[in-house]
Amino acid sequence: MIKHLAASFWLALGAVTLAACATSATVSEADATEGISRDYDASYDVVKAAALQSVERLNVNLQGTDENDERFQIRFTKSISAFSWGEVGVVNVLPTDDGATVVVNTSKRSRTQITGTSEGRFAEEVFANIDESLAALQ
Protein backbone atom coordinates (compact mmCIF):
# COMPACT_ATOMS: atom_id res chain seq x y z
CA MET A 1 0.00 0.00 0.00
CA ILE A 2 2.76 2.41 1.02
CA LYS A 3 4.74 1.42 -2.06
CA HIS A 4 1.75 2.22 -4.28
CA LEU A 5 1.29 5.59 -2.61
CA ALA A 6 4.97 6.43 -3.05
CA ALA A 7 4.87 5.42 -6.72
CA SER A 8 1.74 7.53 -7.28
CA PHE A 9 3.40 10.48 -5.57
CA TRP A 10 6.49 10.27 -7.79
CA LEU A 11 4.37 9.89 -10.93
CA ALA A 12 2.25 12.89 -9.99
CA LEU A 13 5.33 14.94 -9.15
CA GLY A 14 6.89 13.96 -12.46
CA ALA A 15 3.78 15.00 -14.38
CA VAL A 16 3.62 18.37 -12.59
CA THR A 17 7.34 18.98 -13.14
CA LEU A 18 7.09 18.13 -16.86
CA ALA A 19 4.06 20.40 -17.25
CA ALA A 20 6.01 23.29 -15.75
CA CYS A 21 8.78 22.94 -18.37
CA ALA A 22 9.09 25.05 -21.52
CA THR A 23 10.56 23.70 -24.77
CA SER A 24 11.41 25.42 -28.05
CA ALA A 25 7.85 24.75 -29.22
CA THR A 26 6.54 26.94 -26.38
CA VAL A 27 8.01 30.03 -28.01
CA SER A 28 8.28 28.95 -31.67
CA GLU A 29 4.56 28.14 -31.87
CA ALA A 30 3.48 31.26 -29.99
CA ASP A 31 2.08 34.29 -31.83
CA ALA A 32 4.91 35.93 -33.81
CA THR A 33 4.12 39.30 -32.20
CA GLU A 34 4.41 37.93 -28.66
CA GLY A 35 7.44 39.29 -26.81
CA ILE A 36 9.52 42.47 -26.73
CA SER A 37 9.63 44.29 -30.07
CA ARG A 38 11.51 47.06 -31.84
CA ASP A 39 10.90 48.62 -35.27
CA TYR A 40 13.67 49.08 -37.84
CA ASP A 41 13.52 51.24 -40.96
CA ALA A 42 15.92 49.01 -42.93
CA SER A 43 14.57 46.54 -45.51
CA TYR A 44 13.10 43.22 -44.32
CA ASP A 45 15.87 41.16 -45.99
CA VAL A 46 18.65 43.25 -44.42
CA VAL A 47 17.06 43.12 -40.96
CA LYS A 48 16.76 39.31 -41.26
CA ALA A 49 20.51 39.09 -41.93
CA ALA A 50 21.28 41.47 -39.05
CA ALA A 51 19.04 39.54 -36.65
CA LEU A 52 20.74 36.29 -37.63
CA GLN A 53 24.21 37.72 -37.10
CA SER A 54 23.01 39.16 -33.79
CA VAL A 55 21.95 35.76 -32.42
CA GLU A 56 25.04 33.99 -33.82
CA ARG A 57 27.19 36.33 -31.69
CA LEU A 58 25.41 35.38 -28.44
CA ASN A 59 26.58 32.56 -26.16
CA VAL A 60 23.45 30.55 -27.03
CA ASN A 61 22.83 27.42 -29.09
CA LEU A 62 21.26 28.40 -32.40
CA GLN A 63 18.92 25.56 -33.44
CA GLY A 64 17.77 26.77 -36.83
CA THR A 65 15.71 29.17 -38.89
CA ASP A 66 12.50 29.02 -40.85
CA GLU A 67 10.27 31.42 -42.71
CA ASN A 68 6.61 31.76 -43.67
CA ASP A 69 4.47 34.56 -45.11
CA GLU A 70 4.24 36.24 -41.71
CA ARG A 71 7.77 36.12 -40.30
CA PHE A 72 11.38 34.90 -40.43
CA GLN A 73 12.18 32.98 -37.23
CA ILE A 74 15.47 32.17 -35.46
CA ARG A 75 15.24 29.49 -32.73
CA PHE A 76 17.81 29.21 -29.95
CA THR A 77 18.40 27.71 -26.51
CA LYS A 78 20.65 28.78 -23.67
CA SER A 79 22.49 26.00 -21.87
CA ILE A 80 21.86 24.76 -18.35
CA SER A 81 24.11 26.39 -15.73
CA ALA A 82 24.59 26.65 -12.00
CA PHE A 83 21.91 29.36 -11.96
CA SER A 84 19.37 28.10 -14.47
CA TRP A 85 17.85 24.97 -16.05
CA GLY A 86 18.35 26.84 -19.33
CA GLU A 87 16.20 29.06 -21.53
CA VAL A 88 14.49 28.73 -24.91
CA GLY A 89 13.84 31.60 -27.29
CA VAL A 90 12.98 32.86 -30.74
CA VAL A 91 13.70 36.06 -32.62
CA ASN A 92 10.92 36.81 -35.11
CA VAL A 93 11.44 39.31 -37.94
CA LEU A 94 8.17 40.64 -39.39
CA PRO A 95 7.97 42.74 -42.59
CA THR A 96 6.24 46.12 -42.22
CA ASP A 97 5.39 48.98 -44.58
CA ASP A 98 8.39 50.97 -43.33
CA GLY A 99 10.90 48.12 -42.94
CA ALA A 100 10.73 45.37 -40.32
CA THR A 101 9.84 44.66 -36.70
CA VAL A 102 12.00 42.37 -34.58
CA VAL A 103 10.31 40.50 -31.72
CA VAL A 104 12.24 38.62 -29.01
CA ASN A 105 10.27 35.93 -27.18
CA THR A 106 12.01 33.76 -24.56
CA SER A 107 11.04 31.48 -21.70
CA LYS A 108 12.90 29.76 -18.89
CA ARG A 109 12.79 25.97 -19.24
CA SER A 110 11.68 25.77 -15.61
CA ARG A 111 8.88 28.32 -15.35
CA THR A 112 9.04 28.33 -11.56
CA GLN A 113 12.69 29.46 -11.63
CA ILE A 114 13.56 32.98 -10.46
CA THR A 115 17.18 33.10 -11.63
CA GLY A 116 18.38 32.80 -15.24
CA THR A 117 18.36 35.20 -18.19
CA SER A 118 15.19 37.28 -18.52
CA GLU A 119 13.40 38.09 -21.77
CA GLY A 120 14.28 41.77 -21.24
CA ARG A 121 17.99 40.93 -21.02
CA PHE A 122 17.84 38.81 -24.20
CA ALA A 123 16.00 41.58 -26.06
CA GLU A 124 18.45 44.25 -24.91
CA GLU A 125 21.43 42.23 -26.19
CA VAL A 126 19.75 41.19 -29.48
CA PHE A 127 18.67 44.76 -30.32
CA ALA A 128 22.13 46.17 -29.50
CA ASN A 129 23.75 43.57 -31.78
CA ILE A 130 21.26 44.28 -34.60
CA ASP A 131 22.09 48.00 -34.40
CA GLU A 132 25.80 47.17 -34.81
CA SER A 133 25.15 44.77 -37.72
CA LEU A 134 22.92 47.24 -39.54
CA ALA A 135 25.56 49.94 -39.22
CA ALA A 136 28.13 47.56 -40.76
CA LEU A 137 25.86 46.25 -43.52
CA GLN A 138 24.33 49.49 -44.78
Partner 1 sequence: MRLLMMGGAVLLSACASLESEPLPEIGPAEYGFVTSVEVTSEPSGETRAERAAWGILSLNPVILATAVVAVEDDFGRSEVRLYTVELTDGTEALITSRYLADEGDCILIRRPVEGGNAVVVKQDDTTCDTAAAAVGN
Q: Which stretches of the chain bind partner 1, using CB under 8 A?
A: 10, 13-14, 17-18, 21, 23-25, 45-46, 48-49, 52-53, 56-67, 72, 74, 77-86, 88, 109, 117, 121-122, 125, 128-129, 132-133, 136-137
Question: Least separation, in Å, of the C-beta of 36 and partner 1?
Answer: 14
Nearer to partner 1, 37 or 63 (CB): 63
Decide if 78 contacts 84 (C-beta within 8 A). Answer: yes
What angle is formed at CA 39 by the lines to CA 62 and CA 50, rounded to 5 degrees? 35
Question: Least separation, in Å, of the C-beta of 37 and partner 1?
Answer: 19
Decide if 127 contacts 118 (C-beta within 8 A). Answer: no
Question: Least separation, in Å, of the C-beta of 96 and partner 1?
Answer: 17
What is the Cα Rg of the chain in Å? 18
Kindly list the distances between the CA atom of residue 23 and the CA atoms of 33, 84, 100, in Å, as whole numbers in the listed order: 18, 14, 27
Question: Least separation, in Å, of the C-beta of 18 and partner 1?
Answer: 5
Nearer to partner 1, 54 or 101 (CB): 54
Residue type, 135: A
